[in-house]
Every structure is written in C-alpha cells, then in structure tokens.
Amino acid sequence: MNTAASSSEPGVRVEIDDVQSGALRPRPVPYEGKFVFLRVDDRHAGRALLRRLLPLTASGLPSADRSQDAWVAVAFTYQGLRALGVPQESLDSFPRAFREGMAARAELIGDVGESAPAHWETPFGTGEVHIALSALSSEAAQLDKELERARVAYEDTPGVQVIWQQDVHQLPTGRTTFGFRDGISQPNIEGVGLLGSNPQEAPIKAGEFLLGYPDETGSPPPMPSPDVLGRNGTYAAVRKIHTNVAAWRRYLRANTASAEEEALLAAKMVGRWPSGAPLALAPEHDDPELAADPHRVNNFLYRENDDRGFRCPAGAHIRRINPRDSTIIGDARMHRLIRRGTTYGPPLPEGVLEDDGADRGLVGVFLGAHLERQFEFIEAEWVNDGNFIGHPGEKDPVAGHHDGTGSATIPEKPVRRRLQNLPGFVVTRGGEYCFLPGLRALRWIAELED
C-alpha cells in the first residue's frame, strides 16, 4: 500500500492507493465525462456488479502516463447501501444527513421554490438512486474505453437497472455556461502529496476530506462501522444545476451603461473575471496573463489587502464559498470542500439575450468528510444567507436561490452600490448525498453474505 505524507505533517500518512481517484484527483483540463445512476433490484446482483466494477475503479493520484488519464468512481446513496444488504448496524452508524438524503434536507440548504424536490428531475430524490458511477478523462477516446468496460459490467448484470445518465464536457470556450473559467481553487490537503492551488493556504487536515484521519478539531470525523467500511471514504453531494444564462445576461445589460461596466459588474458578482483572474489581484480589468499563471491565479488572501471588499465584494460568489482569511463568524478551514464542477448542455450563443429552451448548466460534486458542517453549512449560511458577512438577508448573487426580490451589496467609494431585484440565475434540478468508499470498503460491500 503506497502512502503519501506532507512535509509539514510527517506523521500523517494517507493511504492513497485505497482512496478512489474520484475523491482526490483534480478534474482534467480539458475533460469529457459521464454520470450514470443505477438501481439495485436484487442485492446479490448488486454485489456481483461491484465485483465486476472493482478492477475498473481507479485509486490514487494523477499519473504521468496519459494512457492512464481516465478513471471510474463508484459511490452509494444510503438507500443503495441498504439495497445491497449492508447490515442495519452499519447503516445506523452513518450520519443523519446522509441517512436522510439531500431531498429531505432541501429546505435547510435553500432548495425551495422552483428548486424544491417536487420539481426535481427523475430519479433525483425518489430513493431509487442506489449506485452512482462517474467517469472522467481528458480525452474522449479514453473515456469511451473506460465507459465501455463499465457498461459491459452493469448491462450484463440482471437485477441492476440504469435509471439516469448525464454526459458532461468542457465547452469550447473552456469556461462555464455563464462564461467564466472555473475549477481553479483546490485545497491543500496534508498527507496527500498534491499541491494546493493557493500557496498561502496552510495544509488542511486530511480528516476534513477523508474518513479515518484527524480533522481540524484534532480528532477523526465520525466514521461508519466497521472501520473497514469507513476508512479512506468520503461523502459526495452530487447536484445538477440548471443555469439561466439568458436571465444572467439580461440582468447585467439592464444594470449597466456599457460593455465595460457589464464586464465589471459580472466580475463583482462572481469575484473573478471571465479568464479566471481574481478581483483581489486584478481589481480594474481582466488579466488573462495572470489567469494563465498557475503560480499567481489563486495566490491571494483577503484580510490584508481587501478586508472591506472594495476589490472583491464580501458577498461575491467565490468569497462566499471560500472566504479564505476574511473576517467572518467561525473558522473557514472547518468548511472547506473539494469541488468538481462539470458542465453539461450546449452554450448559449454569444450575445443572445433570450432563452433558447436548451438545458444547460453544471453537475457539481462536492466532497468532504462532514456533510453537515461543510456542504450543508456553506449552502445554508454562506450561499443563501448574508449574516456571516454583515449583510443580513442577502444571498450569493450568482448561486443563491433568488425570487426576483434579492439584493447584493458592492462596496464602492464614496457610496456603496446595492443591486436590487435579483432573479434566480440557477435552478436545482436534483441532488443526492453519496458515500464514496475506499477500495477495501468497496470489496467488503461486494463480498457481503446474507
């Protein structure tokens, strides 16, 4: 078993080869991918499928060999573990949020109105999603090869049904449907051996992202039993988010007087320019050269140079989901996530202001060892509430669930600007809480006996 350790924490060694690649490998650029949801109608068939998937399930870190630059990950919902016959004692040892599932927690995390589970795409929230497969690669040919091996495994397994599939891909622009580069910021995790994207971020305890290791509290996070099931696993909040690009463009156009003002307002709401250059380092204009430099594009904090948000507003999207060292209530290091955002659907042609009816957006995967104090806290307190930044009643201007009455504050001199009547730019089309086990745990589930 290979392990890796950070130089700053020589005693912490993560069993990298037991951790699924879907947890730790950064998303490739460019990328092609697919999500497949399965329902298990017969637990024996489900376990047989897992035995077929085990040799296909990748672990470890990125390889220098491009022929290995594709990987399949296997995760389970609570209902899925039950369908596979995991003992009730083990099921009861999972945290409440996972056992209840995302749909039951929708109101807490802000999935209300048009984003409520009543409007979700089938089979999200129905209890029928049991196994979630994901595959990513930098090349379509490699992805097809991995997917074909997985497809043969589940299509040759009677008693297991494919109930949902979603292709994802990087757009030709290399940006999201809103027109912004993403996937820039990744945490620095001790003992993993991958450099974080922000050189100013001290390594975060491995237990914030993987079960079986101390977290920022100094103790290991709660782990399901037996230990072989929990160790080296993590939780994944999987979300399908529709993006209303036409509404986004119309709002920017209606609240600015020029193309330059439009670009600046969009950047103030996001916190970065379309190239990915952060406002904290490029407050006046986009800086593609800075954005292309991996050593500079994420090398910043907020407190010293921008504590009051005159560069990047405190309520901007990237500052809400990762406040870094900003003055906020609580410790931002206790709420970090690994983010895997992937784009689906066609882009809305440049300059078009009316919706064309196409479904487009992102399938996001948010990974961490604590569903409640990481994913749920961020959604409830930082994205859909403003108290932590001193603007009660305000939400994330981009990712918050607005109903046309929302507001957002942009600090300016001599008078701050207040955006009004924010419409909803995103709609949750569905979500599931999944458990991404280590490979030993995957084998343990596959070899369960009645």
Q: How many structural domains compose the chain?
A: 2
Does residue 53 lie in a domain region? yes
Residue given tokens 């440049």 in the structure block? 350
Q: Are 298 and 290 in contact (CB under 8 A)?
A: no
Does residue 202 lie in a domain region? no
Same domain flag for 349 and 438: no
- What's CA 209's distance to the chain center, in Å? 13
Residue given tokens 């596959």 in the structure block? 446
Which range in 188-197, 230-239, 331-340 is most confidently predicted, on average pLDDT? 230-239
Rounded to an integer, what distance in angstroms lies between the CA atom of residue 422 and that of residue 107?
A: 20
Same domain flag for 160 and 262: no
Which residues are CB-neighbours of 152 under 8 A, at least 6 positions away?
none
Q: Strand 338-344 and strand 160-169: pairing?
A: unpaired
Same domain flag for 143 and 259: no
> What is the mean predicted confidence (pLDDT) over 170-178?
94
Same domain flag for 309 and 223: no
Amino acid at 332: A
Q: Are 241 and 120 in contact (CB under 8 A)?
A: no
Mean pLDDT (the chain) is 93
Same domain flag for 263 and 407: yes
DSSP 375: I
Closest by Cα among 115, 26, 113 to 69 = 26
Same domain flag for 109 and 159: yes
Which residues are CB-neighbours of 384 under 8 A, at least 6 positions away?
109, 110, 395, 396, 400, 401
Same domain flag for 387 and 285: yes
The token pair that represents 98 in the structure block = 């996972």
Q: Which of 51-65, 351-365, 401-415 has the lowest mean pLDDT?
A: 51-65
- Beta-carbon count within 10 A of 186 CB: 20
Rounded to an integer, what distance in angstroms lies between the CA atom of residue 362 and that of residue 354?
A: 20
Instruction: State the residue range of the domain holding 296.
Output: 241-431
Looking at residue 7, its pLDDT comes to 41
Percent of the chain with pLDDT over 90: 85
Same domain flag for 133 and 157: yes
Rounded to an integer, what distance in angstroms lies between the CA atom of residue 64 and that of residue 180?
A: 28
Collapsed DSSP state (helix, strand, coil) of residue 205: coil
Partnered with residue 265 across adjacent β-strands are none
Closest by Cα among 325, 72, 328, 322 to 200 = 325
Does residue 204 lie in a domain region? no
Over 90: is that where the pLDDT of 135 sits?
Answer: yes
Q: Strand 131-137 and strand 406-410: pairing?
A: unpaired
Rounded to an integer, what distance in angstroms lies between the CA atom of residue 65 and that of residue 368?
A: 28
Does residue 184 lie in a domain region? no
Q: Report how far apart the first and last C-alpha atoms of the chain are (Å, whole number).
A: 30
Same domain flag for 26 and 164: yes
DSSP H helical ranges for 299-364 = 303-306, 317-321
Does residue 194 lie in a domain region? no
Rounded to an integer, what distance in angstroms lies between the CA atom of residue 231 and that of residue 3?
A: 14
Phi/psi of residue 406, nearest 5 degrees = -70, 160
Looking at residue 194, its pLDDT comes to 84
Amino acid at 48: A
pTM of the model: 0.95
The enclosing H or E element of 90 equals helix 88-92
Which range in 10-24, 274-288, 315-329, 390-404 is most confidently predicted, on average pLDDT? 274-288
DSSP 57: B
Strands lying side by side in the sheet with 361-368:
160-169, 32-40, 131-137, 70-76, 426-436, 234-243, 361-368, 338-344
Q: Strand 131-137 and strand 70-76: pairing?
A: antiparallel
Percent of the chain with pLDDT over 70: 96
Phi/psi of residue 114, nearest 5 degrees = -65, -20
Over 70: is that where the pLDDT of 313 sits?
Answer: yes
Over 60: is that where the pLDDT of 9 sits?
Answer: no
Same domain flag for 124 and 269: no
Looking at residue 69, its pLDDT comes to 81
Does residue 2 lie in a domain region? no
The token pair that represents 51 in the structure block = 């035995």
Amino acid at 209: F
Same domain flag for 442 and 408: no
Looking at residue 101, its pLDDT comes to 98
Which residues are CB-neighbours of 338 under 8 A, at least 6 positions away?
23, 24, 186, 187, 209, 366, 367, 368
Confidence of residue 8 (pLDDT cuts 50, 70, 90): very low
Does residue 189 lie in a domain region? no
Rounded to an integer, what distance in angstroms lies between the CA atom of residue 94 and that of residue 221?
A: 11
Looking at residue 5, its pLDDT comes to 46
Same domain flag for 392 and 381: yes
